[in-house]
């Protein structure tokens, strides 16, 4: 199977799994946003807690130039580690939320 097809599947499985965890408070839904044509994937929390609006990104992943770019990761365990466990090579994962100068000190790709 084509590597990009496999990577897309891993990203979708990861988002789907995280979307199954119920929010710990409020009337909040988890919403997956998937744009397979442009390879943009997000998981958002949307709703209300008492009188406060909840709207935020939990996970944002793009696939660009053959690499998985983690643009935002609000998970506890780190989605990069989960992708590595699934079989993605570390050199194919970019921690986009890190500054380019700091990426070279990680185990992952610089971009």
Pick from 66, 24, 61, 25: which is nearest to 43 by CA? 61
Confidence band (pLDDT; 50, 70, 90) for 41? very high
State how far the Cα of 104 lies from the Cα of 87, in Å rounded to an integer.
21
Q: Are 39 and 8 in contact (CB under 8 A)?
A: yes
Side-chain-facing half-sphere of 84: CA atoms under 13 Å? 14
Pick from 47, 58, 62: which is nearest to 17 by CA? 58
Which 8-state DSSP code applies to residue 22? P
State how far the Cα of 111 lies from the Cα of 104, in Å rounded to an integer.
9
Backbone angles phi, psi at 39, to 5 degrees: 55, 50
Confidence band (pLDDT; 50, 70, 90) for 1? low
Predicted pLDDT at 111:
87
pTM recorded for the entire structure? 0.93
Q: Are 26 and 48 in contact (CB under 8 A)?
A: yes
Non-local (6+) Cβ contacts of 87 within 8 A are 6, 10
């Amino acid at each position: 199977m084509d590597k990009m097809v496999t990577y897309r599947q891993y990203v979708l499985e990861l988002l789907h799994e995280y979307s199954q965890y119920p929010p710990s408070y409020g009337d909040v839904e988890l919403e997956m946003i998937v744009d397979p044509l442009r390879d943009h994937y997000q998981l958002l929390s949307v709703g209300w807690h008492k009188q406060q609006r909840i709207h935020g990104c939990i996970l944002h992943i793009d696939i660009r130039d053959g690499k998985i770019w983690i643009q935002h990761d609000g998970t506890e365990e780190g989605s990069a580690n989960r992708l590595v466990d699934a079989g993605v090579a570390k050199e194919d994962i970019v921690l986009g939320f890190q500054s380019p100068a700091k990426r070279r000190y990680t185990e992952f790709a610089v971009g």
